[in-house]
Structures are given as structure tokens and as C-alpha cells.
Amino acid sequence: MIYDVIIVGGGPSGMSAAIYASRARLKTLLIEKAGCGGQIAITDHLENYPGFEEGINGFELAMKMEKQARTFGCEIVYGEASAVETEDAIKKVVLSDNKEYFTKTVIIASGANFKKLAVGGEQEFIGKGVSYCATCDGPFFRNKEIAVVGGGDSALQEALYLTKFAAKVNLIHRRDQFRAAKILQEKVFAEPKINIIFDSVVEKISGNLTVEEITLKNVKNNISSQLAVNGIFVFVGWLPNTNFLNNTAIKLNEAGYIVTDDNMNTSVQGIFACGDVRQKLLRQVVTAAGDGAIAAISAQHFIEG
């Protein structure tokens, strides 16, 4: 069996590529590690994806995209891509269980994984107060005091979401300005349950069986202090999922993101990349979906010569 297109990753960019490739009647396989949706599957509320004026739950949108891709004939296999062989005209995608799939083109839509703080106690208390997913763990912190770390869209959006549960949300950012969208900043500044702590980094997370306290350092005056919290949510950015491309000639930038042109071509012929895994200005569901559509049509043009 030789596919026309194999898409690695089932987030919005991968599923958009799957919809466009299948509608172009290309024999399409999508390989997804866990469940389709990627980051949106753990996002409570999306309010900037066109067509949903009151916003939409991320998981619900992901399910709709998956259903749409299957409707047009895309096959979906669950497994983790561990290697891609790109040298020959027929390319090979190998999964961690050693299954092999062959294809004329590959679309890399493997997204990115959350970054950790890399401080003492973080690893030890994962699932015991340290979390990277507000939708998954927010309800455990009803009427508790918690901390959220980060100053980007994720941190502010999730801090707002967590006010539904927590009694108080301490939003800790290492600078004195957020990088998040202004509309999110306005909402955060207006939310009485959010206490903003600027110019501070987390040095240590401590507790007995669960998180009880974090140590903060003010980066301007170097003074350390303790903050009693029951949980800490970390949203300090993402790292692209490109490890499985180590043995290829696909060009990455210094931060590890895949370099593409406007048509989603990577530096290797027949290999395309889309969504958060590629170097780009704006990482949003809408740009991921746009990337995926372009990648699929570029793959079609490549196959048709």
C-alpha cells in the first residue's frame, strides 16, 4: 500500500490538511499519537475562530474536524511516528511500534509540546498540584488558592478560566508586561480574583504530599519570598515536536521549528510542514487550519508533477 499523503499529527493543521487532501481524492492517512485535536482538545473556550460568535469548546471543535476528515475518506491510525525516511521517491513513516507506512508525500503537522519551568519540585509534584492543563485539572482546585505562571495568551486565557474554580489566582510573570493579546490583558486586569505578580520567577515548588508553597524571586531586587498555594499551572510556551525528524535533511531554525516557504514546502522535496511545528509569526487555530489546506494542495501539485 502506497499512500499519496501521510499526515503526521492530528491537531487543527493536520486535520485541515486531511480534509483538503481527501477532498482532492488523494489516498490520505493521518497518524496521531493520542487523540485528535492537539492543543485545542484541552482548551476550554476558543473565541477567535471564525464562525462561532459565542466561542466554541476546543474539544468539540476538534471532534467536528475529525468527523469532517473521516467523511471525505481520510484514514486515521493511532500511533507515534518515530522516524521518517525521506530520501527516495516513496517515503517511509515508521511508528514507535515498528509499523511502517509508505507514501509519495509527507505532511508534518506534529505541533509542539508544553515547556516546563525546570525548577525543584516541578517533576515531583506533577499530578499533585503541578499542572499544564487548566481544562483537565481546574475542577480539582475549587475554592483553593493557586498560581499560574506565564505572560502569553495561554497563561492569561487559562488564568481567566481558572477563576471559575479557584478562590484566588496568582498570575506570575517574569517581566512587567504581558505579551498576550490586549483583549485578554484587559479581562485579566478587570478580574478581581486574579492577583498579578510581575517581575517574578518561580524558584522552587514545595509541599508534603501535594503542593503547599512556591518560592518566588523578584528579578528586579533579587528578594525571595514564599507564596502558599495548593496548585501551580505552568504556561510558559512550547517546544516543537521534531525529534522524529533527526535523521532527515529537513531544515529547522535555531529554536527547532521547521523552516518552510509560503506553500509549506520544507527543504526536502515532497515533505511539507504546517501548523505550530513550523517557523511562523502567528500560532492560532485559524492559521494552523490555513497552513494545513495549503500543505495538502501543495502535496497534490507535487504528486501531479
Catalytic residues: 133, 136-137
Binding mask 24-53 for ligand NAP (x = CB under 6 A): ------------------------x-----
Q: How far apart are CA 235 and CA 211, in angstroms?
A: 17
107 is a site residue for ligand NAP (CB under 6 A): no
For residue 170, give the 3-state DSSP assignment.
Answer: strand
153 is a site residue for ligand NAP (CB under 6 A): yes
154 is a site residue for ligand NAP (CB under 6 A): yes
DSSP 125-148: TBTTTEES-HHHHGGGGTT-EEEE
284 is a site residue for ligand NAP (CB under 6 A): yes
Choose one: 6-14, 172-180, 244-252, 264-272; the region binding ligand NAP (CB under 6 A): 172-180
Please give the residues from 48 up to 87 whose contact with ligand NAP meets the rule CB under 6 A: 48
By the 10 Å C-beta count (0-12 exposed, 13-18 middle, 19+ buried), 249 is classed as exposed
For residues 257 and 277, the answer to whether their CB atoms sit within 8 Å is: yes
Choose one: 4-12, 137-145, 173-181, 261-269; the region binding ligand NAP (CB under 6 A): 173-181
238 is a site residue for ligand NAP (CB under 6 A): yes
Please give the residues from 196 up to 215 whose contact with ligand NAP meets the rule CB under 6 A: 201
For residues 197 and 171, the answer to whether their CB atoms sit within 8 Å is: yes
Binding mask 109-128 for ligand NAP (x = CB under 6 A): --------x-----------
179 is a site residue for ligand NAP (CB under 6 A): yes
Of residues 1 and 282, the one with the C-beta less far from ligand NAP = 282
Q: How far apart are CA 72 and CA 85, in angstroms?
A: 27
Containing 83, the helix (H) or strand (E) segment is strand 81-85
Can you name the residues that pair with 226 across neighbouring β-strands?
A: 215
| Interface residue with ligand NAP, options 9, 12, 37, 150 (CB under 6 A) | 150
Q: Which one-letter DSSP state was computed for residue 50?
A: T
For residue 179, give the 3-state DSSP assignment.
Answer: coil
Q: Which residues bind ligand NAP (CB under 6 A)?
A: 48, 117, 149-155, 157, 174-175, 179, 201, 235-238, 283-284
